[in-house]
Amino acid sequence: MVDLILIDFNEFETIQNSLPLGVSLLAVSKGHDQESIRKLSGYGQIDFGESRLQEAVPKKNELNDLEQLRWHFVGTLQKNKVRGVIKEFDFIHSVDSLSLLERISRISQEEQKTPNLFLQVKFRHDPKKCGFLKEDLLNSWSKIIALKNVNLIGLMTIPPIALNSYQRKDLFCECRNLANHLGLKDCSMGMTNDWKEAVEVGATWIRLGSFLFGKRRT
């Protein structure tokens, strides 16, 4: 058996240095313990992503001496978790419907918060993924920008698993173009297996999990 272990500081620096100016690295720490997060924060990493509220809260509590950390929610957000996520997270990458966005706006007003939001868009048919369809997003746009206590900063997308590298790059390009069209600065796109393609066509946030936390070594 080989253990899954964190990359070392030099490897981390190599990735950081390879990112163009304006591209931020989100370390997706779901499934990894607070000690791994602490170690990575010791390398200078500030932004961490989690996909389940129940998993994130105890880890955040253990790490609350690290005041510089910023927490990003990246998982499917269920209605009954909205209040908890708004209280615990600074960014939500996975706002996948108008009804969810309206709920976030309403609860954010009650909690006097203004979370930074990415709208998740589904550019291809994919039964496994949630997200706005491009047409629906465009049709709802005037309604969306009128919502209070939400800071809309960008779009997020995850390509269907079956795409090849060229098809993924096309999809990432579409996401960048739509964000530009809507006047949104950020695109959260690119994971361990496709972040280079995403960065080439304008990602501003890449979300890396196993690349940082789970590199196999014998």
Ligand X SMILES: *Cc1c(COP(=O)(O)O)cnc(C)c1O
* Site residues, ligand X (CB under 6 A): 28, 30, 51, 74-75, 191-192, 207-211
Which uninterrupted H or E stretch holds 111? helix 98-111
- Residue whose entry in the numeric block shows the structure tokens 């590298």: 165
Q: How far apart are CA 212 and CA 210, in angstroms?
A: 5
Q: How far apart are CA 20 and CA 155, in angstroms?
A: 19
Taking the least distance from each CB to ligand X, the nearer of 101 and 205 is: 205
Taking the least distance from each CB to ligand X, the nearer of 4 and 133 is: 4
Residue nearest to ligand X (CB): 209
Taking the least distance from each CB to ligand X, the nearer of 148 and 216 is: 216
| Torsion angle (degrees, nearest 10) of CA 190, 191, 193, 198 | 10
Task: Please give the angle made by the CA atoms of 175, 116 and 14, to the nearest 5 degrees.
Answer: 65
Q: Residue 103 CB, nearest distance to ligand X (Å)?
A: 20
Say which DSSP state 6 is in. P
Q: Residue 196 CB, nearest distance to ligand X (Å)?
A: 12
Taking the least distance from each CB to ligand X, the nearer of 51 and 108 is: 51
- Residue whose entry in the numeric block shows the structure tokens 């297996």: 193
Q: Residue 190 CB, nearest distance to ligand X (Å)?
A: 9
Q: Residue 131 CB, nearest distance to ligand X (Å)?
A: 11
Q: Residue 92 CB, nearest distance to ligand X (Å)?
A: 11
Taking the least distance from each CB to ligand X, the nearer of 77 and 201 is: 77
> Tokens at residue 89, please?
């997270």
